[in-house]
Amino acid sequence: MSGSKEKISKRLSYVLRHRPDSIGLRLDQQGYVEVELLLSALARHGDELTIEQLNELVLTNDKKRFSFDPTGSRIRANQGHSINIDLNYDQKSPPPILYHGTASRFVPSIRQRGLLKGQRHHVHLTESRDTAMSVGSRYGEPVILIVRADQMVANGSRFFLSENQVWLTECVPPNHIEFP
Ligand code: HQG
């Protein structure tokens, strides 16, 4: 595929998280697709990508967005899906505080309704303020919210950790959010 690694990563994210059907693919239950099928489907749709380029991308991707299965014959996105698949995430005990980066214009609504998962399967949280800051900057003036995971666990919420260290949960009620 011509273009930057970022462009290829975005294209793969689109296909593997949201629209495999856009290039005639189906993902299995765990979100995997055969690497060979992926490469040939991309090629049929005008995006030539070699197996070497794909390996390099998976290895060096800034957020480790993709991973191969243990045999290396299949690939999937690690998180962020809008299509219905079962990633078999490990339920885990989170640190007491997690961060969520958002845009200032969403804050009034979040104060009222809490953090909602929207199109995705979960609300995405991080242990890193820096990551929260850059995620928030995508949509406007960034704001970092502090999520009291400790209080949520005490109230029975479940948390999951994706392979690329994104913390996931169903929703975050407003009373467990500290606003700046
Ligand atoms: C906001 C990136 C109004 C929420 C990141 C966010 C992440 C509300 C936006 C991953 C709301 C949804 C996901 C409410 C939530 N009212 N706005 N009640 N509740 N929102 O993109 O978390 O680079 O679906 O704050 O690292 O921003 O793609 O979610 O601003 O892990 O690999 O609604 O994307 O990873 O936006 O980002 P998104 P997100 P990648």
* Model confidence pLDDT, tens digit, residues 5-39: 888 999 999 999 999 999 999 999 899 999 999 99
For residue 119, the CA-to-ligand 1 centroid distance in Å is 9
Same domain, 66 and 111: no
Confidence of residue 88 (pLDDT cuts 50, 70, 90): confident
Whole-number average pLDDT of the chain:
94
Same domain, 103 and 64: no
Per the structure, the count of domains in the chain is 2
Tens-place pLDDT, residues 129-160: 999 999 999 999 999 999 999 999 999 999 99
Which tokens sit at 47? 């995006």
169 lines ligand 1 (CB under 6 A): no
Q: Measured from the CA of 103, which atom of ligand 1 is nearest?
A: 30
Same domain, 68 and 97: no
Q: Measured from the CA of 63, which atom of ligand 1 is nearest?
A: 32
Residue 84 lies in a domain: no
Looking up residue 131, the CATH number of its domain turns out to be 3.20.170.30
Residue 64 lies in a domain: yes
Tens-place pLDDT, residues 93-134: 999 999 999 999 999 999 999 999 998 989 999 999 999 999
- Which structural domain, as residue segments, surrounds residue 15? 5-77
For residue 125, the CA-to-ligand 1 centroid distance in Å is 9
Which tokens sit at 169? 């949960």
Which protein residue's CA is at the shortest distance from atom 36 of ligand 1? 118
14 lines ligand 1 (CB under 6 A): no
Same domain, 103 and 130: yes
Same domain, 57 and 27: yes
Same domain, 37 and 100: no
Question: For position 59, what pLDDT does the model report?
Answer: 93
- In sequence order, the 6+-apart residues with CB closer than 8 A to the CB of 99 are 125, 126, 127, 128, 129, 131, 132, 144, 145, 146, 147
- Ligand 1 pocket test target in 106, 112, 172 with most atoms within 8 Å of CB: 106
Question: Rg of the chain over CA atoms, in angstroms?
Answer: 17
Looking up residue 41, the CATH number of its domain turns out to be 1.10.10.970
For residue 138, the CA-to-ligand 1 centroid distance in Å is 9
Residue 60 lies in a domain: yes
Tens-place pLDDT, residues 46-83: 999 999 999 999 999 888 999 999 899 999 999 999 99
